[in-house]
C-alpha cells in the first residue's frame, strides 16, 4: 500500500502502473482496498494507458471498484488482472464496463480460478457488441457450461475465444436462422436394400436397379424441419472397419436387415452392431427390415415378434428403440420410418442450431456446386466464403464448422468433399 500511495502522488505524469508479482510480501499486495485508492486517481487523471495488477489478491469487490472507475476513463487500453481472486461477480462488473467502453483492447484474467460458467458467459455476451477487445486473455469460453449458456454446440469445444466471439458477432450482425440438423447413418450388409431405401426416403422413387455402394455415399434428406446428412455405408467386408470412425452417439442410426439374409450376412449384421456399440454405446438404433412385400417363398416378409426377439438377443448391448418393416418398391412403412427418424433426431443433443444467416447462405452456395462436381479445393472454398463473409477469419471458421456439421468433408488430398446427390 505504501508503494501505491507513492505512485498515486505522481499519477498525473505517468502512463503505466506496474504492481505485478507482489507474492513475496503480503503488505505489498494492494488487494481490494488498494483498488479503491487507484480508482480515485483513474477518475481524475487521463494519462494512464497500461495497468498491471497481477498477483495482488484482488477479489470481486476490487474488480467492481476498478470497473466503475474505468467507465469514465478513456485512456486505459490494457489491464492485467491475472492470478487474483476474481470470480463471477467481478466478471459481471467487467462485462457491464465493456458494453460502454470501446477503448480497452486487452484484459488479462488468466489464473482467476473462481470464475465459473456464468462469469464466462457474461463476458462473452458483452463482446457481441464490443468489437475492440481481444478475448484471448479472458477465461476460456469453450467449456461445456458456458457453451450451453451461449446456445453453442459441442463443436465449439475445440474453438478459441476469438472464434467463438467472431461467430456470435456474425450471428448478431447478419441475423440468424434456427436450423435442425443431424446425421442419418444407414448400416447393413451389401444387399440389404440401403441405397434403394435412401432413394425412396429422398425422392419417393424406386427403379429396381441394384447398384453396389462403393465406400460411402452421401446426400441430404429433409423431413419436415430437420436437415439430415445421409451416410449410406457400403456393406462389403473390405469397407467395414473404415466406417466405424463415423459412428457417434449423436446420430440417427438405421441398422438395415434383410429377412432372407444368408448366414454370412447375419454374421456381418452382428459385426456391424458390435462396431456401433464399441464406438457409440449410447446410440439409439432403429431396426429396419426390408422387402416387407417381397417374395414369401424366399422368406421376404416382415419379421415376427419371436424373430425380432432372437435378433435382439444375439446383440444384447444394442439399443433398439423401434423395429419397422419397409418395402421400397411398394412404399410400405416409409412414412412411419420418416416419423421415427424425426422423433429420434429431435431428442439428440444440440440438434437445434442458431446459425448466422450469412453462414446458411454460404452453405447453400457451396452445396450448389455439388450439381457439377464432387469436391473443390480448399482455396476455392475460402474464396467463396471470403466473398460471402467479407473476412478471412470468418471464412476459416466456416470451413471448420462446415466440417464439424458434416456439410463438407476434408479429403486426404486436402480438397473438400461436398455432400453430393448420388441418387
Query: Which of 70-74, 156-160, 229-233, 418-422 is predicted least confidently?
Result: 418-422
Per-residue pLDDT band for 78 (boundaries 50, 70, 90) equals very high
pLDDT, position 423: 44
The sheet carrying 408-410 orders its strands as: 375-376, 416-418, 408-410
Nearest to 110 by CA among 42, 55, 151: 55
58, 298, 357 from 97: Cα distances, Å: 18, 75, 29
pLDDT over 90 (residue 26) = no
Task: Kindly report the pTM of this predicted structure.
Answer: 0.85
Tens digit of each residue's pLDDT (9 = 90 or more) over 302-332: 999 999 999 888 889 899 999 999 999 999 9
Question: Which of 163-177, 178-192, 208-222 comes out lowest in average pLDDT?
Answer: 208-222
Phi–psi pair at 182, nearest 5 degrees: -150, 175
- DSSP assignment of 62-118 equals HHHHHHHHHTT--S--EEE-TTS--BHHHHHHHHHHHTT--S--EEE-TT-TB--HH
Neighbours of 363 (CB within 10 A): 22
pLDDT confidence tier of residue 134, bands split at 50, 70 and 90: very high
Average pLDDT (397-415) is: 89
Residue reference for cell 462488473: 93
Distance between start and end Cα atoms, the chain? 75
Other residues' Cβ atoms within 10 Å of the Cβ of residue 193? 24
Give the containing element (helix H, strand E) for 334. Answer: helix 334-346
Least confident of 97-101, 247-251, 400-404: 247-251
Which helix or strand (DSSP H or E) is residue 33 part of? helix 31-44
Amino acid at each position: 500500500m505504501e508503494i501505491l500511495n507513492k505512485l498515486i502522488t505522481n499519477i498525473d505524469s505517468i502512463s503505466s502502473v506496474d504492481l505485478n508479482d507482489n507474492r513475496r510480501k503480503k503488505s505489498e499486495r494492494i488487494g481490494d482496498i488498494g483498488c479503491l485508492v487507484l480508482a480515485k486517481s483513474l477518475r481524475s487523471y487521463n494519462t494512464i494507458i497500461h495497468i498491471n495488477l497481477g498477483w495482488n489478491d484482488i477479489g470481486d469487490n476490487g474488480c467492481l471498484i476498478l470497473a466503475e472507475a474505468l467507465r469514465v476513463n478513456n485512456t486505459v487500453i490494457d489491464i492485467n488482472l491475472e492470478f487474483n481472486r476474481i470470480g463471477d461477480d467481478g466478471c459481471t462488473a467487467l462485462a457491464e464496463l465493456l458494453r460502454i467502453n470501446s477503448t480497452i483492447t486487452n484484459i488479462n484474467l488468466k489464473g482467476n480460478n473462481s470464475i465459473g460458467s456464468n462469469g464466462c458467459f457474461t463476458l462473452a455476451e458483452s463482446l457481441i457488441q464490443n468489437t475492440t477487445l481481444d478475448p484471448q486473455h479472458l477465461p476460456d469460453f469453450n467449456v461445456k457450461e458456458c457453451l450451453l449458456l451461449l446456445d453453442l454446440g459441442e463443436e465449439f469445444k475445440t474453438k478459441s475465444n476469438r472464434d467463438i466471439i467472431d461467430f456470435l458477432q456474425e450471428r448478431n450482425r447478419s441475423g440468424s436462422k434456427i436450423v435442425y440438423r443431424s446425421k442419418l447413418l444407414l448400416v447393413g450388409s451389401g444387399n440389404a436394400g440401403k441405397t434403394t431405401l435412401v432413394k425412396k426416403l429422398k425422392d419417393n422413387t424406386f427403379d429396381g436397379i441394384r447398384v453396389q455402394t462403393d465406400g460411402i455415399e452421401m446426400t441430404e434428406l429433409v423431413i419436415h424441419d430437420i436437415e439430415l446428412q445421409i451416410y449410406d455405408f457400403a456393406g462389403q467386408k473390405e469397407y467395414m472397419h473404415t466406417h466405424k470412425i463415423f459412428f457417434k452417439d449423436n446420430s440417427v442410426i438405421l441398422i438395415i436387415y434383410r429377412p432372407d439374409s444368408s448366414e454370412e450376412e447375419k454374421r456381418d449384421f452382428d459385426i456391424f452392431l458390435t462396431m456401433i456399440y464399441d464406438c457409440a454405446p449410447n446410440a439409439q438404433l432403429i431396426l429396419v427390415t426390408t422387402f416387407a412385400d417381397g417374395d414369401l417363398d424366399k422368406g421376404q416378409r416382415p419379421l415376427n415378434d419371436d424373430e425380432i426377439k432372437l435378433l435382439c438377443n444375439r446383440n444384447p448391448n444394442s439399443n433398439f428403440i423401434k423395429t419397422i418393416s419397409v418395402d421400397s418398391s411398394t412404399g410400405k412403412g416409409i412414412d412411419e420410418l420418416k416419423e421415427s427418424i424425426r422423433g429420434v433426431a429431435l431428442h439428440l443433443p444440440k440438434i437445434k442450431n442458431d446459425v448466422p444467416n450469412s453462414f446458411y447462405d454460404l452453405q447453400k452456395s457451396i452445396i450448389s456446386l455439388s450439381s457439377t462436381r464432387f469436391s473443390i479445393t480448399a482455396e476455392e472454398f475460402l474464396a467463396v466464403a471470403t466473398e460471402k463473409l467479407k473476412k478471412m477469419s470468418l471464412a476459416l471458421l466456416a470451413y471448420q464448422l462446415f466440417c464439424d456439421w458434416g456439410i463438407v468433408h476434408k479429403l486426404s488430398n486436402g480438397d473438400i468433399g461436398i455432400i453430393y446427390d448420388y441418387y
